[in-house]
Amino acid sequence: MDTLILASTSPYRRELLARLGYPFESVAPEYEEARIPGLSPSALALCHAVGKARSVAARCPGRIVIGSDQVAELDGDTLGKPGGQAAAVSQLLRMAGRSVAFHTALAVVRDEREESALETYTVRLRDLSREEIEEYVRADRPFGCAGAFRIESRGIALMEELRGRDYTALIGLPLIALTDLLRRFGVRVL
């Protein structure tokens, strides 16, 4: 059983991959997540997932490498990671009472072979007061999360509705699509 490589240091992605019970190690990708003019939010997520996986695969020949990236989209605009309290509050105020699409891309690379998938998960936030948003941001500190919330924590209280095929995509690593891609590489989780 070959050990997989997760091209990420995200604790959320590591926790999700660990659920499969397959041995893996995490390696930080040497890849810059830049905005690329002209790419849709879903295409940008896919570009970054492939870029992360390729950057690690180049250093680990013969190994199966998993890359993932998530981009939030509101009215065609890309919402990035807020990075701080003021930006998180601003983002959530803009999203309150509205639907936001989260495009989570996945790439599996071994040497020259690449397979990829894209999962879109849509959330509708409740109508929220500034006070509720500020309290949430103080409590959960979602500064490194696309969309400025952590669904696996108190962020669930912001939600009115969740829609999609695989809720793990919303957290950052779509496990249904991943198990399918891994099967294509001969990796059987079951």
Q: What is the pLDDT of residues 112-133, one digit of tens each?
A: 999 999 999 999 999 999 999 9
Catalytic: which of 2, 69, 111, 140?
Answer: 69
25 backbone dihedrals φ, ψ, rounded to 5°: -130, 155
Phi-psi region of 37 (alpha: psi -120 to 50; beta: other; left: phi over 0): beta
Q: Which residues lie closer than 8 Å to 181 by C-beta, 6 or more apart?
A: 106, 108, 115, 116, 117
Q: What is the pLDDT of residues 56-98, one digit of tens each?
A: 999 999 999 999 999 999 998 898 889 999 999 999 999 999 9
List the beta strands (DSSP E) in the chain: 4-6, 24-26, 65-74, 77-79, 99-110, 113-125, 159-163
Measured CA to CA in angstroms, residue 153 lies from 70, 102, 123 at distances of 18, 17, 15
Q: What is the pLDDT of residues 26-58, one digit of tens each?
A: 999 998 877 777 889 999 999 999 999 999 999
So what's the pLDDT on residue 2? 79
Half-sphere exposure of 186 (CA within 13 A, CB side): 7
Total-model pTM? 0.91
**Whether 140 is catalytic:** no
Q: Number of helices and strands (H, E) in the chain?
A: 6, 7
Let me know how long the chain is. 190
Q: Which domains does the chain have, with CATH numbers?
A: 4-184 (3.90.950.10)
